[in-house]
Amino acid sequence: MATPRVLIIRAPGTNCDYETSVAFEKAGARVSTAHINQLINDGLKIGDYQALVFPGGFTYGDDLGAGKIMGSEIRIKLGEDIATFIKEGGLILGICNGFQVMVKSGILPGDGKIVTLTGNDSGRFECRWVHLAANPRSRCVFTRGIERMYLPVANGEGKLVADQETLQTIDAALFYTDSFGNQPAAYPDDPSGSLNGIAGICDETGRIFALMPHPERHISPHQHPGWTRGQSHDPGDGLKIFTNAVGWIKQL
């Protein structure tokens, strides 16, 4: 088939769109980046792409809470287009602020369930590297073949919260662990205090996925904090997220 087409959607305050574009290009996709107003006002069509991405950053300054303004904008102005895109089999990925946007817009977790992302238990912005484990029982397209990852986080509102029934029924695709892979992990291994140690979730189709850590910031061995001590490998752990997405599209 033709080269998979990926659209990265940005807004004022987005700051990880370039790194995310590089990651998808390295995985073999053709990537376009567009301001959200190009979708709302300028006739850019979501349906011309196989994957949508909401990258990291601080959209609209997170002035009313992380991801809330852009999430509301998407729900009100693009909700029908997004619903059609999902129904027709598209992939959606959200990273950090993109996770917050997808939750606040209602894109995730889907199936009528409700979660939110709120302030870290530490009461401050957490910027550190974390150990992660993929859930082998998850339907998530993006985490297939992944067992563990080492990725950076950078957020002030990364704590996933939901009622107990929702926590038992959502598809938690990614968990924080300690350096030995043990769960549940305590702070700082779970940097936000996320319930059940959840670092990423997907919807019931497995095609709509978001995570708080940044896979685009570890696609090269030289991005690993211990690369000068021989602790890294090529490619970086995060690249598999992107190659999984591109590979899945190519199989359609």
CATH code for residues 5-250: 3.40.50.880
Tokens coding 113: 């369930």
Ordered by start, the domain boundaries in the chain are: 5-250
pLDDT value of position 2: 85
Average pLDDT, the chain: 96
| Residue 20 to residue 86: CA distance in whole angstroms | 21
| Phi, psi for 2 (deg, rounded to 5) | -65, 160
Question: Across residues 243-251, what is the average pLDDT?
Answer: 96
Work out whether strand 148-155 and strand 126-134 pair parallel, antiparallel, or are unpaired.
antiparallel
pLDDT value of position 1: 64
Which residues are marked as active site? 96, 214, 216
| Residue 243 to residue 135: CA distance in whole angstroms | 18
pLDDT digits (tens, 9 = 90+) for 165-179: 999 999 999 999 999
pLDDT value of position 43: 86
DSSP-H helix ranges across 28-187: 36-40, 68-77, 79-87, 97-105, 164-169
pLDDT digits (tens, 9 = 90+) for 33-80: 999 999 999 889 999 999 999 999 999 999 999 999 999 999 999 999
